[in-house]
Amino acid sequence: MTGLLARIGAATLALLAGIGRMVIFVAETLSHLVRPPFYAREFGHAVMSVGWQSLPVVGLTAFFTGGALALQIYSGGARFSAEALVPQIVAVGMVRELGPVLVGLMIAARVTSSIAAEIATMKVTEQLDALVTLSTNPMKYLTLPRVLAALLTVPVLVAVGDVIGIFGGYLVGIYRLDFNPANYITNTVDFLEAHDVISSLVKGGAFGLIAALTGCYYGMQSDRGAQGVGRATKTAVVVAAVLILAANFLLTEAFFSE
């Protein structure tokens, strides 16, 4: 019994210590936002890597999801004679939920993993120590540009994903479900509200922040050796995905609860 309590206590302390380290990491990263020097070149590279290079995977994911969503809504709606609501529900579903969440999860898979693996490898090969000896703060040089790039580009990716997802639903609606093109577009545009779009972009920013911070944090915390790099990468992706889904729930509650 005592052993069990000791294990629970140790696990709780470890969890709290981990949360504490992460909070300090986030605070330190954000504090660099207002303290020069700023590394514009590294920020530019991060924008290309996080934003531009994620476009294909985000576009494809959103496109197929939008198409599948249209088919599902049409099929499910037929039970209630609600087939005509396909444009509206695809639009709301993509913009409010599926767009941000899918983009967030794709960013966790693509960007969090790559950031964590890169920084963890830099740590085990002493490149982080080398940065320090070259009078360069790794938080400022590695973490801040990536976090800032994710914060600014993921909302754009979400917006692009929303549009492509709706377009996927539109193509299925027009060519598979025989909707009138003009009506489909009118119903989509008329039904969406500014509130929906704003929530989508805010979620994108929050998910980008989570994805980049988690990748940087676990990369910097990596243990030595190839196994350490692998573990850091895996943990970063899992934690980022879970935090993105949890944040999505909280933001949905904040934006849409009556």
Nearest CA-CA partner of 214 in 50, 25, 16: 25
Q: How far is the CB of 214 from other proteins (least distance, A)?
A: 21
Nearest CA-CA partner of 150 in 238, 201, 102, 212: 212
* 208 alpha carbon, distance to own chain's centre: 5
Q: How far is the CB of 20 from other proteins (least distance, A)?
A: 18
**Which residues contact other proteins by CB under 8 A?**
37, 39, 45, 122, 125-127, 129-130, 132-136
Which residue, 34 or 134, is less far from other proteins as judged by CB?
Answer: 134
Q: Which two tokens stand for residue 151?
A: 């914060």
Which residue, 131 or 174, is less far from other proteins as judged by CB?
Answer: 131
Which residue, 72 or 136, is less far from other proteins as judged by CB?
Answer: 136
Q: How far is the CB of 136 from other proteins (least distance, A)?
A: 7
Q: How far is the CB of 254 from other proteins (least distance, A)?
A: 38
Which residue, 96 or 146, is less far from other proteins as judged by CB?
Answer: 146
Which residue, 61 or 114, is less far from other proteins as judged by CB?
Answer: 114
Which residue, 125 or 227, is less far from other proteins as judged by CB?
Answer: 125
Q: How far is the CB of 36 from other proteins (least distance, A)?
A: 10
**Stated length of the chain:** 258
* Residue 85 CB-density burial (10 A; 0-12 exposed, 13-18 middle, 19+ buried): middle
Q: Which two tokens stand for residue 248?
A: 């999505």
What's the farthest any 2 CA atoms get from each other in the chain?
70
223: left (phi over 0), alpha (psi -120 to 50) or beta: beta
Q: How far is the CB of 43 from other proteins (least distance, A)?
A: 13
Nearest CA-CA partner of 96 in 258, 257, 255, 210: 255
Q: How far apart are CA 226 and CA 130, in angstroms?
A: 19
Let me know how many helices (H) and strands (E) the chain has, helices first. 12, 0
Q: Which two tokens stand for residue 38?
A: 């700023």
